[in-house]
Amino acid sequence: MWGEALLRQAGGKVVGKLASTQLSRLAERVRSEGGLPIRIVLPDGEAADFGPTPTLTVTVRDAAALAQFRQPTLGGLAEAYVEGRIDIDGDVAEAIRIAARLVEAGGAPVSARPGLMPAAHQPHTDRADISHHYDVGNGFYRLWLDELMVYSCAYFESGAEDIDTAQRAKLDHVCRKLRLSQGERLLDIGCGWGALVTHAARHYGVRAVGITLSEQQALLARERVAAAGLQDRVEVLLLDYRELPRRFGEASFDKVASIGMFEHVGLRNLSVYFSSAARMLRDRGLMLNHGITSADPDSRPIGSGAGEFVGKYVFPNGELPHLALAVREMSAAGFEVCDVESLRSHYALTLSHWSRRLENGLQAAAREVAERTLRVWRVYLAGCSHGFAQGWMNLYQLLGSRQVAPGATELPLTRHWMYHR
């Protein structure tokens, strides 16, 4: 492959010195094999185009990073960028697409998934993991999320909506699925910055409790609840989901929502998670679980080093169950799963919006976080958008009814009510 030729042309020294003639010959070979729209600039300034019209320039700062082109992996290339061993000049989404093509051409494929190594997921470690991701800084998230700061998949009807419209539509989609009504009690597990509890209290008349492990999220969520004048109907707590049965009595809520949280639960803890939610609900109460799932039937992480990269830099100990496992564990906890909806295409669009908004505000973002952190988020958002578009992972909303006594659910016979006001 051409990556191996690159190392051979370097004489195995990996010190960043390639004669211009050698680099030119290599570039010609790559172009003869179809080419790639990329320009590589080596540490000594020598450069070559590997396609007729390069749209992306990769500058190698550390000659050791050339090893990433011998048998490329998505995780290896992403880490080289995050650690400053390579720089990218060009559209970050295009960089992800080119990296995927490099991997397809001669690297470790995404389909070659590693084996499972489930994490323990204890309360103290989960709190640290949540802080690592969500306490980056409210100012940073505010730059690229929507006006309500909803950090989960939006809901698009045409795909042409802006992110603010699509996120409000998602909140209504969740509230309609839960059939919220005046005076009901709603629990939001992993409430983020309080968008859902505030929206549900204001527009559906519920009394809501939101829980989170992020101190920065809780602080801002409480400020937003107060600003909306909803302190008498909305409470935001720093609380682990495993503490719910001790904090509240059995059947304390009519409805439970969990939006973008169960990715942090861990495969071994899914039964505890769904059982804790079930104990909070009255008989026939509804739970809507909205979360990312693995596309692999055995719930293995994404291959090509992508899963390892996300675990190291973005979501420590995050684990994605397959849909089948999620449905099984939800059912075992006493829920009748009444509706399953894939939002994979919606999340690809959502992430694309987030990525573009971040790219448009890079200067402001650089004032909020360190350069290394910004590099992580640039490649993460663009990479996830590509991954969802390609079907490397999925996102499902599962609607379940807690069935304590035999008999029918309280849901209508058709789904018409979900999609029509």
Active site residues: 384
What single-letter amino acid sits at 259? I
How many Å separate Cα 163 from the centre of its chain? Answer: 16
Q: Is 44 exposed, middle or buried (0-12, 13-18, 19+ CB in 10 A)?
A: middle
Residue 354 token pair: 């987030």
The total of other beta-carbon atoms located within 10 Å of residue 391's CB is 12
Residue 348 and residue 383 in contact, taking contact as beta carbons nearer than 8 Å: no
DSSP letter, residue 322 = B
Q: Across the strands, what pairs with 399?
A: 288, 339
Q: In whole angstroms, how large is the CA radius of gyration of the chain? A: 24
The total of other beta-carbon atoms located within 10 Å of residue 232's CB is 9
DSSP letter, residue 38 = E
Separation CA 224–CA 88 (nearest Å): 38
From residue 63, alpha-carbon distances to 71, 92, 134 in Å are: 15, 22, 34
Residue 371 and residue 379 in contact, taking contact as beta carbons nearer than 8 Å: no
From residue 121, alpha-carbon distances to 125, 128, 131, 290 in Å are: 6, 11, 14, 20
